[in-house]
Amino acid sequence: MKRILIVDDDLTLRTALTRYLQSRGYVVQEARSGVEALALFEEDPTDVVVSDIVMPEMDGLEFCRRLRATRLGQLVPFIFLSSRRELSDRVEDNIVRESILNEPFLDRDCNIWIVRQV
């Protein structure tokens, strides 16, 4: 069973996405910040990370950089969520352009992106 880590400071979005993905057969872990997500991933790595970009404490880009610096996080696929289209232009090439899913999105859109990654 594929495992997904959802990282978003928006509880409503995180909960809705978690419920939808669980209904599709995925095992889902949730984190509300990049700091919390790093700790969760180190304890129990997942197959895919779905992360917001704009978050307090540590944004999604910094979270990706730090995770990529670890042995377990080097190859895990990332799907970034963003309500701001211009952020897709700011994703640095050194994190290896990841998938960016612009909000608002349909749950099935997210599922399609995840299926492509795993």
What is d(CA 116, CA 105) in angstroms, rounded to the nearest whole number? 16
Residues 41-78: pLDDT tens digits?
Answer: 999 999 999 998 888 888 888 999 899 899 989 889 88
What are the residues facing 5 on neighbouring strands?
29, 49
CATH assignment of the domain containing 23: 3.40.50.2300
Domain enclosing residue 17, as ranges: 3-117
58, 42, 55, 56: which is closest to 5 by C-alpha? 42
Total residue count of the chain as it appears in this document:
118
Q: What would the two tokens of residue 94 be? A: 């050194």
Domain count, the chain: 1
- pTM beyond 0.75, yes or no: yes
Both tokens of 97, joined, read 């352009």
* Residue 100 in this model has a pLDDT that exceeds 60: no
**Residue 27 confidence (pLDDT) above 80:** yes
Per-residue pLDDT band for 108 (boundaries 50, 70, 90) equals low
Q: Which amino acid, residue 51? A: S
How sure is the predictor about 96, in pLDDT bands with cuts at 50, 70 and 90?
very low
